[in-house]
Structure 1
Amino acid sequence: MPNLVLPPDAPSLADAVAQAVRDGVAAGELVPEVTYSVYQLAELLDVSRSPAREGLLRLAEAGLIEIRRNRGFRVLPPQAHDIEEIIGIRLALEPPAARAAAVTGTDDQHTAIRAALAAMATAAAAGDEAAFWPADRTLHDLLLHAAGKPRTAAIVERLRTTTALLGPPTTASGRSLPEIHAEHEPVVAAVLARDGAAAESAMRTHLEATRDLLVRRAGELSEGPATIGP
């Protein structure tokens, strides 16, 4: 079984199981090609089968996994229409938030945003994907919090977990780390200049480019599932 960790601060065991699976997907510990045992998942997370099943049912309802009767569950790679819907939601949320972050964000929040972009630049120059993607997520999260939208930040993080199933973002999008960093530069520059319109436009351009590339990747992804023990 993969390396999964039960988060200690979830509202319930079922929520904790769901979050552990989401985190496993985001970290590449759970992959679409494999059918995983519910019993082994419960044992790995040291919970009973009831909250394990309940947590998985929540993920199945969200379309993140498929429960296979008497066999276990498998992670579902998103289809092209899933990507279009996910990025469509992000386009409705993040460009206006970038505008708000530019206009109403505090100086301290802007400093943190600048630091996140700098961390992305350092990781990109070193080819360090393990450092780059946390900095990328942090930057988007900071922008949403600077806009005063913590609930939106949580929604976006869950949506990003689904698109992570397409594989490493450099592979999924066909862009290098420096290219992805470069797409974020005009967003941050506009935010720091307190130019709300430019920040919104730059974020929209970034997300639309991401959508187009991920939709193409989803269309190319055609591996079938394998199976492991019961």
Structure 2
Amino acid sequence: MEKKLSPIKLDSYQPLREVVCESLRDAIRRGVLKPGERLMEIQLAEELGVSRTPVREAIRKLELEGYVIMMPRRGTYVASMSIRDINEIFEIRTALESLSNGLAAERITDEELESLQRLLVMIGGYVEEGNMDKIVETDIEFHDLLYRAARNSRLVGIISNLREQLTRFRTLSMSYPGRLETTLEEHREIVEAIAEGDVKRAKKAAEHHMEMSEKTLLKAVDANKKNEKTKRARKAAK
């Protein structure tokens, strides 16, 4: 395996296994470690400048999050995400997002509602600027706040785990033509419903948002595959 990772900084307040896990997770999200690629503990430990123990612990956590697959007698690999996997995740997440929004409509505080509205304005500004990094960062903050407003820690944990499994596709999906603008409108619909305390409308808004997110992601994945195929064909023709 060619060297792909940089040594981690050991001055973090986090436990080493968490720092290693974050580094590997980020590498998978950015495509540095690609789907189907085998992960060798010794190689990863050398590249990151740590012992094998925190690498092993990090890999176990990443398996629970769906980022890697550990196969007996065959090794550990970066998990691939099939269309069926995406469909299954969205089926579950849609139901849970609907529940979360409904609870938020009943339980959100005035301060949290103001924060949601402020985040909407920020996202709109970043969309106009075309600042994808800030859009992604603020979108995560927006949804995290929605989940907290539901006042159900177990629900938050389950949704967060499902969301993590699709994080590697977030930028790809949001970069799809027209998606940023429609996402902003979907978010506004969610906030308006919650502000009015309309549980039924809040649930429907969440379901619509998930439906559109899934459709866009599948289109983006398909377009990306075609682009990669075209690039390989052109490279082979040279």
TM surpasses 0.5 = yes
State the partner residue of 1:187: 190
Unmatched 5+ residue regions in structure 1?
225-230
After TM superposition, give the deviation of residue 182 of structure 1 in Å: 1.6
Q: Which structure's relative contact order is higher, taking Cα pairs within 8 Å and 6+ residues apart?
A: 1
TM-score normalized by structure 1?
0.78
Q: CA deviation at 1:219?
A: 5.6
Match of 2:134 in 1: 131
Deviation at 1:216, TM superposition (A): 4.4
Larger displacement relative to structure 2 (207-216 or 18-27): 18-27
Between the aligned partners of 1:172 and 1:70, the Cα distance in structure 2 is 39
Structure-2 change in CA distance of 1:154 and 1:205 (3 Å): same
Q: Hey, what's the Cα distance between the residues in 2 that align with 1:61 and 1:104?
A: 30
Contact kept, 8 Å, 1:127 with 1:177, in 2: the verdict is: no
Instruction: Find the counterpart in structure 1 of residue 90 from structure 2.
Output: 87
Matches within 5 A, 1:37-56: 37-56=40-59
The alignment-based identity, stated in percent, is: 28
CA distance in structure 1 between the partners assigned to 2:9 and 2:178 by the alignment = 30
**CA-CA distance at 1:35 after TM superposition:** 5.0
CA displacement, residues 147-176 of structure 1 (integer Å, 9 cap, x when unaligned)? 113343343333233223346233675543
Kept in 2, the 8 Å contact 1:41–1:52? The answer is yes
Say whether the 8 Å CA contact 1:187–1:199 is kept in structure 2: yes
Would you say the 8 A contact 1:123–1:132 is kept in 2? yes
Larger relative helix fraction: 2
2:153 & 2:30 partners in 1: Cα distance?
A: 23
CA contact (8 A) 2:101 2:194 kept: yes
Deviation per residue, 1:93-147 (Å, 9 max, x gap): 1111111111211101111111121111111111110100111111111011011
Paired residues in the alignment total 222
Task: Give the alignment's Cα RMSD to 1 decimal.
Answer: 3.3
Cα distance in 1 between the residues matched to 2:224 and 2:210: 21
Inter-CA distance 55–61: structure 2 relative to 1 (3 Å threshold): same
Instruction: Show structure 2 runs of 5+ residues with no match.
Output: 230-238
CA contact (8 A) 1:14 1:54 kept: yes
Structure 2 vs 1, CA of residues 122 and 107 (structure 1 numbering), >3 Å: closer, same or farther?
A: same
Shift of residue 68, structure 1, vs aligned partner: 8.3
Once structures 1 and 2 are overlaid, which stretch shifts more, 120-129 or 14-23? Answer: 14-23
Assess if the C-alpha contact under 8 Å between 2:41 and 2:56 holds in 1: yes
Q: Note if contact 2:173-2:216 (Cα within 8 Å) is conserved in structure 1.
A: no
Distance in 1, Cα, partners of 2:82 & 2:108: 36
Over 3 Å counting, the alpha-carbon distance change for 1:33 and 1:180 in structure 2 is farther
Tell me the amino acid that sits aligned with residue 55 of structure 1: A
